[in-house]
Amino acid sequence: MGLNPVVVAVDGGGSKTDVVALGPEGTLVARARGGASSPQGIGLAASVALIESLVLKVAAGAPVRRTELYLSGLDLPRELTAYSEAIAGRAWARTVVVDNDLFALLRAGTAEPDAVAVVCGTGMNAVGVRSDGASARFAALGQISGDWGGGSGLGAEALWHAARDEDGRGPRTALTDAVRERFGPIPQLIEQLHFGELSSAALALLAPKVFELAATDAVAAALVDRQAAEVVAFVTACLKRLDLVDAGVPVVLGGGILQAGDQRLMSGIEAALRAAAPRARIVHVTDPPILGAALLALEHEGIGIERLSLAG
């Protein structure tokens, strides 16, 4: 007798990838974790190879009835098309959904048909959905697409202010000492970044210090306030584009920066959101996004369950 078919769900990002296999009634069969799988970060071929290895691992020889992949770095239609084409014809991808990991985060936070999700971790992105199937999405390609924020944005701004403090163009800020403590002399750090000897991604390590110093340093406080405003800018853009500004829409917040729950940041977000969309309500995600990916996969299979446990 052959093995029972499984449904596989994947949530992949810039640092880790979670995969689960689920049985016919939504029971957990197996789970696995791998490294980064964002195609923008590691390349399309490497991403597909990693995902395939993890899917086959959790399936453990069972036929895969459906696979749903929710990955960061799939922001543009051509990226979604390229990924779908790269996995076409594989046995585990005969019935497949490929989309951005924001949809997994959104479903982990709410099942409501009108909703918004914002992720603020290393970078930022958001998505809004409406009950008729309409959605609001963003290119999320950095400065060229109007993006700022997350650990990378905060870290880069911390260095910007520290450099201006160092050479006299800007005000004194405690961020200058924070940069030196983490990376050494600022002129040396600037050279390392300029010549590619250090990745700019490393500047995200400064983000926790920005929040720590915001209580006593005006420059750091302004950065935290800017981050709060950027979160609300994403939310209000989604709501306006979907004609939901006056609706009681859940706003799901996820990602390391938001989950850390900094008081100044969260107070700023709440105040600005009340002013912009008084009926919107914040939902803090405590479950991992892989739960949302799994729930979406089961729902698309016609399996409705009230609760899903991925423990084990």
The per-residue pLDDT for 312 is: 56
99-108 pLDDT per residue, tens? 999 999 999 9
| Domains of the chain, CATH where assigned | 6-100+288-300 (3.30.420.40), 115-279 (3.30.420.40)
The per-residue pLDDT for 2 is: 66
Q: What is the arithmetic mean of pLDDT over 151-172? A: 97
Cα radius of gyration rounded to whole Å, the chain: 21
Do 34 and 50 touch, CB atoms closer than 8 A? yes
pLDDT over 90 (residue 304):
no
pLDDT bucket at 63, cuts 50 / 70 / 90: very high
What are the strands of the beta sheet with 96-100, ordered from one edge? 28-34, 17-22, 6-12, 64-71, 96-100
Burial class of residue 132, CB neighbours in 10 A (0-12, 13-18, 19+) = exposed
Q: What is the arithmetic mean of pLDDT over 183-195? A: 97
pLDDT bucket at 262, cuts 50 / 70 / 90: very high
The per-residue pLDDT for 26 is: 86
The per-residue pLDDT for 307 is: 73
Tokens matching residue 259: 């989950």
Alpha-carbon distance of 88 to 109, in angstroms, equals: 30
Do 47 and 40 touch, CB atoms closer than 8 A? no
Do 65 and 96 touch, CB atoms closer than 8 A? no
Q: What is the arithmetic mean of pLDDT over 160-175? A: 98
Q: What is the arithmetic mean of pLDDT over 47-56? A: 97
pLDDT over 90 (residue 162):
yes
The per-residue pLDDT for 180 is: 98
Alpha-carbon distance of 280 to 259, in angstroms, equals: 19
The per-residue pLDDT for 286 is: 85
DSSP secondary structure, 79-111, as one string: HHHHHHHHHTT-GGGSSEEEEETHHHHHHHH--
User: How far is C-alpha 85 from the chain's CA centre?
Assistant: 24
Alpha-carbon distance of 236 to 234, in angstroms, equals: 6
Cα–Cα distances in angstroms (integers) from residue 125 to residues 147, 149, 164, 166, in the given order: 8, 9, 29, 32
Mean pLDDT of the chain: 95
Do 240 and 232 touch, CB atoms closer than 8 A? no
The per-residue pLDDT for 303 is: 85
For residue 30, give the DSSP letter: E
The per-residue pLDDT for 282 is: 97
pLDDT over 70 (residue 50):
yes
Do 303 and 26 touch, CB atoms closer than 8 A? yes
What are the strands of the beta sheet with 135-136, ordered from one edge? 135-136, 124-129, 115-120, 250-254, 281-284
Alpha-carbon distance of 125 to 301, in angstroms, equals: 28
Give the global pTM.
0.91
pLDDT over 90 (residue 68):
yes
225-259 pLDDT per residue, tens? 999 999 999 999 999 999 999 999 999 999 999 99
pLDDT over 70 (residue 166):
yes
